[in-house]
Every structure is written in structure tokens, then in C-alpha cells.
């Protein structure tokens, strides 16, 4: 069309044809067409070639093409090549296309570099590298300065692959003509997605593992480093799963970089939902990669908080893991989840389970608060502990002969992962799998307590999302649902080795093992602990009756810091000058605010706004005096100081009353306390003998010993709950 002078597009009629070049080609659409319509693409390609040949010969004045003419043309070109001073032709393939250069064997590498940069403007001259493989083994041309092509082993007909570091966008725009984009093609889902910061980090890294220096020679283009997905390296280092980015690099390397298919995202979400056609049968396979390679708890106190609650109440506990992702060096291109805090959502703990409501009421506020400090939701953790009365250690319920994650827990984890999918530009749908992790606190065979971390595979997430599986009575197996009108359940198969050590394929109906959908994740603690939150003095949220959060307790944390300090507004609201505050007091105030549970309570307390709570959280983490100065000058802080003054006065009055009581003779005071104690014990004994059987009396006394409750109060709750000890205990804790 350009040769014929046609400037208008035949579809949109816009005058863009004469200004178009190869940069206006939709490579993703080309790859899609080649992948799904190969016959039509080949037919169209041949037609284009024939038309181009016809135009070429018409331009040279040849109307009819015969075999004689073609032979003469070929012979003439061959003679010209033989009589020229060109020793060889070198082909260079890059992201800008494939180019041919006529060179001599004695030419230096600098000449080849200049020719490449002239033809491929997107390549950076300073970081230009060549390799004889599509990916891997690149050698910087700057390190080969002055070397001849023959010395480097470059011969006639060689195909080399050129690459370089990304050029600045401004430089690329200046080196290419400006073309007005008039296309109205809608953006693809992956073009609208945004990669996570840890994914952006690994996308800029090569990830290759260098070989020992003794096995490499300078300037040898055949020396290749180890790829991050190398099977031999995995076996030598006992790596069971590839990291996500090593798996992604493996998929990309399977397609040549110049292929049109390589322009499409390599990942694709599994979708087993019933549509208008019958879905294919599903064969369960072990997932070869992990979205998260390791879970690191920043401090042991994060786990101790859950354990202490179980030790005190015998009830299970659930928490949301908050933290951040970081590179993990133990696995090539690995990712670890660093847990900085555990936020306990509203729940009803039971001896053998939990009752939750998801999403919980404060979810949006907590996620927003965590995001302001650079944290995000990493997963969940819950306890599954039980200890018989006669046992000295918790019961080991999860092992290879029972289950590691029950079918009910797997379905719950699958729903949670589907609700926290990863945004990715490498997936055709713009999202792929999930980094949401599940951690379980349970007893071990050695009599201790340990953490187990898991993820559900991509097949497990798709099965849960399509509502194909459901929990079974047996915790170690999942059950396939039955087909019904409007919903077809496809056949599911799994492979295993029988008693003859032969791999066989079996239908998963009606049940199949849970392990086929599990991915194990390692866990641990850092060698040198440096958690984001170093204080945990404020009561943990949503523990009514066990640890209650209140404004008085919040004021009690600040009172020792501000009561004898200058410049913090305690004495009067105009005394606000951090310059008058000692460094020690400022550091103590930073430490006080370095508590997640305290900062999460500031907004629900009704005294601070959300922005002030975010500011307080940043002060505790970053410890910047500028932010602290803004915080103490807020009206909310002045109100807190007014309450602190009132509480300090009340404590002083109570202390004076206690001092006056010390004037009473000691023997008189001791006799009075003994008489009161005897009368109280007599009343309690009379209450025990009224309308209570020996079995009920024993149960009520256990309640009293468990929580330090009054016998009469415990008896009323016990009878009101129809003699249910667990319900009575919950009621007593709630009434405290």
C-alpha cells in the first residue's frame, strides 16, 4: 500500500499507512493468530510473498518470470559474491529483527558492534552483548575490544543473538521516528495488570548461576552459566520445587525470542468452570513450582502470642499474617514471605475448631493501615492443639499416616487464595495463582509444637473455584461432587505407584488424597532478629474477657513516658516543644508507638483519625522527629494528654489512701482480713451445698480454678448454659 501511495487505512480510513512501520505491528495478535490459526497464517504469508515478488519484478521491468531468468539472476549474484572482497556473511538476530552483515575475517569486533547499533536502535552500545544461543552465554563486546572476528571463532554463515540492557525510554524515542498512534485496539488484560515490586525486581535480574571460574575461558561464547531451572543443579542442592520466576524463565526459554508466540504472556490461569461445552478430563499433577519458597517469622513472639492464649484457655486461635516479600537466596530467584505481625480478627475459639466471619468488619481498615507501613496480607495462621489431661505434651494429630491439611482446611485455603490472586503481566488474564500462605500450629511426634506452612496448587484453586470438590468425612481425602442439570463435573484422574511399583492412573471418583493439591513451604526464624515491631505491650485485639483493649490501658502505656517529660503537652496543652524533651524520653515514645496492636487500636478508640493512626505507625517504624512533632501537635494527642492528667490524679489519690491505711496497727489489720476471709469461705461453702450435685460441684470448681471466678458466678453461668462447661467458660470470660 505504501508503494502504491495509498495513505488511508482500509478499515478505519485514517491517514496512517505511509507513516507506519514494523513498530505498529501488534505482536501479541500475530502470536495469537500463529498459535490458533496456523493454516490460515501460512496461506496468507505465501500470498504476501507472491505479491511482493511480483511487485519487485515489475519494478525491474520484468513482466513474466521464467526459470531461465531466475537462474541467470542467481548465477549473476553468485559470481558477484565470488569476485568481491567479502570473506563472510554474519547474521545477527535481535529484538529489532534479523540482519546480515558483509564482513572480513580480519575485521575487529568494534566494526560489527557499530553495524549492529546502526540497524537496531533499541540496543545500547555500551552494554551490547552477543551469544550463540537465544538465551544465556552472553559476552559483553566491550570486554572484547580490539579482538578480530576470526580470533573469536566467528565464521561465515554464523547466527549470533544480540542483547543489551534496556535503553532509557527518552533515548529510544529520540532514535525512532515519532508516529501518531491512532489505533483503537482495546488493552489486553495483561497490559492493564501491574506486577508486584518483588516480581519487578526479579524480572530485571538474569537469575543465572555462574559456573566455577576454573571451567571458563575469557572470550569463549560457548561458556554458559547455569540456568535457574537446571534439573541437575536442583538435584545437587536438594531443591524440590522451582521458584516462580525460575519456572517463568523456563517457559520463556522454550520459545525463541524472535517468535511471535514469545510476545504473548507465557502463563495462563486454569479454569474448570462449566461453560457451553463439556470440559475435558482433569489429570492431577504435582505443581513443579512454588509461589512462595519460604516463610520467615521476624520474631518468636508472633507465635508465642497464639500459644499463650491456648495454654490459658484451651481454645484455638486464628490470625492474619502481615508482612512483606523479599528475595530468598537459598533457591534460585526465590521469594520469601517475612511475617512482621499477626492480627487476630473477630472469632469464636473452640476446643477443636474455630468460628470465623470473612471478610471481617475491619478488613478494609486493617489492610489500608498495613499498606501505609509497607506491609500487606501474606496469609493466615491458626492453632490446632490439644493435650489430654494425663499427657505431658500436645497430641500429634498431623503426620504421614493421618493428614497434614484436612480436606475442610484445603477448601478454605483454596477460597482464601482465590480471593488474593497475584496480579501479573505474564498471564493472559492479568492474574495468576496466589502467594497467600496457610500456617498451622500443631503438636509434633517429639512432643513439641511446630509450624507447618502450605499452599494450594493452581489445580486445587481451580477445582475449588469451579465448585468441583468438597470436604469429605475422612480428613485426608477430598470428595468429587456429582453432576446435576446445568452443572457438569468432569472426570478427574490421579497417578500413583501400586504395590508392584508400577505407575497407574486411577479415577478420583468418589474421593482422592488431599496431598495431590498441596505444596509444602519451608519456614523458620532469622539468625539475627530485627523485626519491624519490637514491642508487644498492648493487649491483642479481639480477645474479650482475656485481654481487653481500652482507652485506659492505652493511656497507661503513655503515662510513664509523658508524666515527667517536658515538651509533650502533659503539664499543659501549650507545652509542645520536642527540643525540651530529652533524647531518652523521645526514644521511649518511639518504642511505645512501635507496637502494631496499639496503632491498630488508635482509630477504634475514637480518639484518633485513620490518618493519625497511620502517622503513629510510621513514627514507630521510621522514628523520625518531624513526624513525631506533627503527631503531638494534633488535637487528638492533646485530648489524650488531658485523660492522662486525670488518670495520673486518680492514681495519686489511690496511692494516698493506701498510705493512710498503713497507719492501722498490723495485728489489727491482719485479724480483720482473716475474719473477712473466714466469712467469705463459709458463705461459699454454703453456696456449694445448695442444689448442686457432686459432679456439678466438681465442674464448677474447675471453672473457678481455670479463670479465678467466684463460685456463685460460676454456678449461675454453668446452670444457665445447661451444664455445658465450654459455653460457661466463654460466658464468664465475656462478662469479665
Is the pLDDT reported for residue 579 higher than 90?
no
Domain with CATH 3.40.140.10 in the chain: 292-466+515-524
Say which range, 50-64, 225-239, 530-544, 568-582, has the weakest mean pLDDT: 50-64
Q: Using pLDDT thresholds of 50, 70 and 90, give the confidence band for residue 74.
A: very low
Q: Using pLDDT thresholds of 50, 70 and 90, give the confidence band for residue 80.
A: very low
Q: Which uninterrupted H or E stretch holds 135?
A: none
The domain defined by 667-735 folds into Helicase, Ruva Protein; domain 3 (1.10.8)
Q: Using pLDDT thresholds of 50, 70 and 90, give the confidence band for residue 258.
A: low
Whole-angstrom distance, CA of residue 376 vs CA of residue 368: 9
Average pLDDT, integer, range 652-659 = 60
Contact 2, 17 (CB under 8 A): yes
Is the pLDDT reported for residue 692 higher than 90?
no
Residue-level pLDDT at 182: 41
Whole-angstrom distance, CA of residue 345 vs CA of residue 716: 30
The cell numbers describing 497, all together, are 505407584
Helix orientation angle between 458-465 and 407-419, rounded to the nearest 10 degrees: 90
| CATH 3.10.20.90 is held by the domain 88-164 | yes
Strands 318-328 and 376-384: antiparallel
Q: Using pLDDT thresholds of 50, 70 and 90, give the confidence band for residue 90.
A: confident
Share of the chain residues as helix, strand and coil, in percent rounded to the nearest 5:
40, 20, 40
Q: Using pLDDT thresholds of 50, 70 and 90, give the confidence band for residue 214.
A: low
Q: Using pLDDT thresholds of 50, 70 and 90, give the confidence band for residue 276.
A: low
Q: Which residues of 359-397 are buried (b: 16+ CB within 10 A; e: fewer)?
A: eeebeeebbebbeebebbbbbbbbbbbbeeeeeeebebe
Residue-level pLDDT at 72: 39
Strands 294-297 and 518-524: parallel
Is the pLDDT reported for residue 73 higher than 70?
no
Domain with CATH 1.10.8.10 in the chain: 667-735
Could you give the C-alpha distances from 523 to 416, 453, 666, in angstroms and in order?
20, 7, 58
Average pLDDT, integer, range 322-340 = 96
Which long-range CB contacts under 8 A does 12-17 form with residues at least 24 apart?
Answer: 12/182, 12/184, 14/182, 16/180, 16/182
pLDDT, averaged across the chain: 83
Q: Under 8 Å CB-to-CB from 606, ≥6 apart: which residues?
A: 551
Whole-angstrom distance, CA of residue 696 vs CA of residue 715: 9
- Residue range 466-507, pLDDT digits in tens: 999 999 999 999 999 998 887 889 999 999 888 888 889 999
Residue-level pLDDT at 180: 43
Q: What is the pTM of this model?
A: 0.68
Superfamily of domain 292-466+515-524: Cytidine Deaminase, domain 2 (3.40.140.10)
Average pLDDT, integer, range 226-245 = 92
- Residue range 393-436, pLDDT digits in tens: 999 999 999 999 999 999 999 999 999 999 999 999 999 999 99
Q: Which residues of 201-211 are buried (b: 16+ CB within 10 A; e: fewer)?
A: bbeeeebbeee
- Residue range 95-152, pLDDT digits in tens: 777 888 888 888 888 888 888 888 888 888 888 888 877 766 778 888 888 888 888 8
Residue-level pLDDT at 221: 46
The cell numbers describing 299, all together, are 520474631
Average pLDDT, integer, range 374-383 = 97
The cell numbers describing 294, all together, are 519460604
Whole-angstrom distance, CA of residue 401 vs CA of residue 418: 29
- Residue range 512-524, pLDDT digits in tens: 999 999 999 999 9
Q: What DSSP string runs through 289-337?
A: EES--EEEES-THHHHHHHHHHHHH----EEEEEEEEEEETTSTTEEEE
Q: Using pLDDT thresholds of 50, 70 and 90, give the confidence band for residue 61.
A: low
Q: What are phi and psi of 217, to 5 degrees?
A: -125, 135
Domain with CATH 3.10.20.90 in the chain: 88-164
Angular region, 314: left φ>0, alpha ψ -120 to 50, beta rest:
left
- Residue range 428-442, pLDDT digits in tens: 999 999 999 999 999
Residue-level pLDDT at 329: 93
Could you give the C-alpha distances from 126 to 114, 140, 154, 206, in angstroms and in order?
11, 9, 21, 18
Burial class (CB in 10 A: 0-12, 13-18, 19+), 662: exposed
The helix/strand/coil state of 430 is coil
With pLDDT > 90 as the criterion, what percentage of the chain qualifies?
44
User: Nearest 10 degrees: CA dihedral of 108, 174, 192, 434?
Assistant: 30
Amino acid at each position: 500500500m505504501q508503494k502504491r501511495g495509498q495513505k488511508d487505512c482500509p478499515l478505519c480510513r485514517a491517514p496512517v499507512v505511509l507513516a507506519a512501520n514494523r513498530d505498529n505491528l501488534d505482536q501479541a495478535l500475530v502470536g495469537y493468530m500463529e498459535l490458533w490459526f496456523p493454516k490460515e497464517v501460512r496461506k496468507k504469508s505465501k500470498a504476501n510473498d507472491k505479491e511482493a515478488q511480483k511487485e519487485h519484478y515489475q519494478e525491474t521491468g520484468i513482466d513474466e518470470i521464467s526459470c531461465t531468468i531466475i537462474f541467470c539472476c542467481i548465477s549473476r549474484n553468485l559470481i558477484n559474491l565470488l569476485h568481491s572482497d567479502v570473506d563472510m556473511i554474519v547474521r545477527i538476530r535481535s529484538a529489532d529483527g534479523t540482519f546480515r552483515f558483509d564482513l572480513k575475517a580480519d575485521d575487529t569486533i568494534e566494526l560489527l558492534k557499530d553495524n549492529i547499533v546502526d540497524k537496531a536502535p533499541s540496543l545500547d552500545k555500551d552494554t551490547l552483548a552477543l551469544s550463540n544461543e537465544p538465551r544465556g552465554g552472553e559476552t559483553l563486546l566491550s570486554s572484547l575490544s580490539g579482538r578480530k572476528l576470526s580470533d573469536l571463532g566467528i565464521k561465515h554463515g554464523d547466527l549470533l543473538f544480540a542483547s543489551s540492557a534496556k535503553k532509557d525510554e527518552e533515548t529510544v524515542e529520540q532514535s525512532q521516528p515519532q508516529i501518531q498512534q491512532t489505533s483503537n485496539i482495546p488493552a489486553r488484560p495483561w497490559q492493564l495488570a501491574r506486577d508486584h515490586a518483588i516480581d519487578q525486581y526479579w524480572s530485571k535480574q538474569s537469575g543465572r548461576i555462574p559456573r566455577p571460574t576454573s571451567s571458563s575461558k575469557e572470550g569463549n561464547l560457548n561458556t554458559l552459566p547455569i540456568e535457574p531451572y537446571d534439573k541437575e543443579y536442583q538435584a545437587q542442592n536438594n531443591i524440590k520445587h522451582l521458584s516462580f520466576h525460575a519456572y517463568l524463565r523456563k517457559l520463556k526459554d522454550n520459545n525463541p525470542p524472535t517468535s511471535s508466540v514469545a510476545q504473548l504472556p507465557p502463563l495462563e490461569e486454569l479454569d474448570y468452570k462449566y461453560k457451553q461445552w463439556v470440559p475435558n478430563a482433569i489429570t492431577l499433577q504435582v505443581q513443579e513450582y512454588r509461589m512462595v519458597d519460604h516463610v520467615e517469622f521476624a520474631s518468636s513472639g508472633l507465635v508465642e502470642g497464639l500459644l499463650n492464649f491456648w495454654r490459658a484457655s484451651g481454645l484455638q486461635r486464628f490470625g492474619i499474617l502481615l508482612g512483606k516479600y523479599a528475595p530468598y537466596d537459598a533457591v534460585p530467584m526465590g521469594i520469601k514471605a517475612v511475617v512482621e505481625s499477626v492480627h487476630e480478627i473477630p472469632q469464636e475459639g473452640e476446643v477443636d475448631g474455630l468460628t470465623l466471619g470473612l471478610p471481617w468488619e475491619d478488613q478494609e481498615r486493617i489492610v489500608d493501615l498495613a499498606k501505609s507501613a509497607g506491609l500487606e496480607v501474606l496469609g493466615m495462621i491458626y492453632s490446632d492443639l490439644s493435650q489430654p489431661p494425663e499427657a505431658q505434651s500436645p497430641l500429634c494429630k498431623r503426620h504421614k499416616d493421618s493428614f497434614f491439611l484436612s480436606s475442610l482446611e484445603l477448601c478454605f485455603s483454596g477460597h482464601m487464595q482465590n480471593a488474593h490472586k497475584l496480579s501479573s503481566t505474564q498471564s493472559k488474564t492479568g492474574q495468576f495463582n496466589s502467594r497467600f500462605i496457610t500456617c498451622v500450629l500443631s503438636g509434633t511426634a517429639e512432643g513439641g509444637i511446630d509450624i507447618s506452612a502450605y499452599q494450594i496448587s493452581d489445580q486445587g484453586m481451580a477445582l475449588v473455584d469451579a465448585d468441583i470438590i468438597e470436604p469429605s468425612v475422612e480428613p485426608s481425602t477430598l470428595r468429587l461432587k456429582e453432576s446435576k442439570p446445568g452443572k457438569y463435573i468432569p472426570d478427574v484422574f490421579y497417578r500413583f505407584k501400586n504395590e508392584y511399583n508400577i505407575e497407574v492412573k486411577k479415577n478420583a471418583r468418589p474421593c482422592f488424597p488431599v496431598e495431590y493439591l498441596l505444596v509444602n513451604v519451608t519456614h523458620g526464624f532469622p539468625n539475627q532478629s530485627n523485626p519491624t515491631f519490637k514491642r508487644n505491650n498492648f493487649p491483642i485485639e479481639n480477645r474479650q474477657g482475656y485481654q481487653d483493649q481500652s482507652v485506659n490501658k492505652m493511656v497507661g502505656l503513655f503515662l510513664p513516658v509523658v508524666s515527667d517529660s517536658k515538651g509533650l503537652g502533659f503539664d499543659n496543652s501549650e507545652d509542645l516543644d520536642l527540643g525540651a524533651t530529652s533524647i531518652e524520653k523521645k526514644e521511649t515514645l518511639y518504642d511505645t508507638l512501635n507496637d502494631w496492636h496499639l496503632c491498630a487500636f488508635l482509630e477504634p478508640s475514637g480518639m484518633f483519625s485513620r490518618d493519625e493512626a497511620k502517622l503513629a505507625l510510621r513514627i514507630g517504624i521510621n522514628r523520625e522527629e518531624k513526624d513525631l512533632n506533627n503527631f503531638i501537635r494534633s488535637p487528638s494527642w492533646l485530648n489524650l494528654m488531658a485523660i492522662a492528667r486525670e488518670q495520673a490524679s486518680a492514681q495519686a489519690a489511690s496511692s494516698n489512701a493506701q498510705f493512710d491505711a498503713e497507719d492501722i496497727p498490723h495485728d489489727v489489720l491482719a485479724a480483720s482480713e482473716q475474719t473477712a476471709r473466714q466469712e467469705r469461705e463459709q458463705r461459699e461453702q454454703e453456696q456449694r451445698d445448695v442444689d448442686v450435685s457432686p459432679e456439678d460441684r466438681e465442674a464448677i470448681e474447675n471453672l473457678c480454678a481455670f479463670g479465678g471466678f467466684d463460685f456463685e458466678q460460676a454456678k449461675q453461668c454453668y446452670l444457665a448454659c445447661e451444664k455445658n462447661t465450654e459455653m460457661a467458660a466463654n460466658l464468664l470470660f465475656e462478662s469479665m
